[in-house]
Amino acid sequence: TAPGLATANQGMDVVTYTGNGGTNNVAGLSFQPDFVWLKRRNLAASHNLFDSVRGATKFLGADGTNGEQTGSDRLTAFGSNGFTLGSNAEVNNNNDTYVAWCWKAGGAAVSNTDGTITSQVSASTDYGFSVTSYTGNNTAGATVGHGLGSAVKFLIVKSRGQSGQYWHVWHSSLANNEYIYLNA
């Protein structure tokens, strides 16, 4: 592939699987994912989001306002072409069906000092996708480096340390001081 040219199923892919209630190695991707969004399909359950920057067992629920949680029985490892799950019913109940939307960023996180706040970043300039973690400093106008080398066009931010906080979403079609919420 020529530099800067994305290839199908290399930067984002979807895999469906059936839970087994124990350890489940889900494979079939053409890359090691850095961000995995899991959802049970046949019954109501929360959306579980995992990324390689925070670590495999750390997750956020996309359909709620809880802060970051740790679940050693959910996604337990990122693999070369998928991920490994524990026995938690939201991600791996026996005979239930699931979908995983998976993105490739840049692998292991690196320190980024491009903004006024140092961040930990896994970024792919080829696919225009970045997972960034930072600790806010409560300063108006603070900036955070994302590792993409160009202006962000779509941004989702979630406080990991506080429950009761909505997901803030911004897109380039909005003004810089406008955003929308994702909420349950």
Among 3-7, 18-22, 76-80, 124-128, the minimum mean pLDDT is found in 3-7
pLDDT tens profile 14-66? 999 999 999 999 999 999 999 999 999 999 999 999 999 999 999 999 888 89
Strand duo 24-26 + 69-70: pairing: unpaired
| The two structure tokens encoding residue 121 | 């970043």
Residue 138: the pLDDT is: 93
- Would you state the pLDDT for residue 10? 87
Alpha carbon 86 to chain centroid distance?
18
